Amino acid sequence: MKVSIVCLTILLVSCPAAFAQSAAAATAAPQAVTTTASPEVGEFQKIEDAWSTAVNRHDQYGLENVLSPLFLGVAANGDISTRDQEVVQTLSNSDKSLWLSQKVISVRMMGDTAVANGTYLLRHQDGNKTVTDNGVFTHVFERMHNRWLCVNSQRTLVRTDGPPEKHKKSSTAAEPFHIPLFSHGK
């Protein structure tokens, strides 16, 4: 009987404490993994600003301080470049209208690796006219020697004009694919 009373007393004393803890946990706001207001977004925005400034000022050392020696960049047109090629292009570019602006939207942290996504505007000369490219980017950073360096960049243009034009059928083949030895035809 005494054991039952002791167990009941312990149960009654511990229930309100457990209920208070679960209620406090339920009312706490959930933490977002990626957010535009996180300190990481601010940190990586500073890095992207340094990158943009280096490109806009044709600054070799500024660009080398942002890009890893292992850097590979995929431009919106599909061209692939290394860090050295990016630096040479920045130094040799005589385009006086060249201007880059990048805005970080989200950052995902994975230890010594971070993935930053955002938008960019790139103003440049195309023949005799000045063109502004609007696009999105994904930059992968690695922490090296206590600082973040970009190891990979992918840029994609965002379509700003109307709906796509309907393309005429260019193939006159009876089948959509020609597989040698299996399809009929000349």
Overall size of the chain counted in residues:
186
Say yes or no to pLDDT of 106 above 50. Answer: yes
Distance CA 47, CA 54 (A): 11
pLDDT digits (tens, 9 = 90+) for 4-13: 555 545 555 5
pLDDT tens-digit series, residues 46-69: 999 999 999 999 999 999 999 999
Is the full-model pTM beyond 0.75?
Answer: no
**Cα 119 from Cα 138, distance rounded (Å):** 9
Average pLDDT over residues 111-121: 97
Handedness of CA 75, 78, 71, 109 (dihedral sign): positive
Q: State the pLDDT at residue 29.
A: 43
Which token pair is 67? 């890009």
Handedness of CA 106, 110, 112, 113 (dihedral sign): negative
* Residue entry with tokens 């339920």: 26
User: pLDDT tens digit string along 125-177?
Assistant: 888 899 999 999 999 999 999 999 999 999 999 987 666 666 555 555 555 55
pLDDT of residue 27: 46
Percent of the chain whose predicted confidence (pLDDT) is above 70: 66
Q: Tell me the CATH class for 39-157.
A: alpha beta
pLDDT, position 5: 59
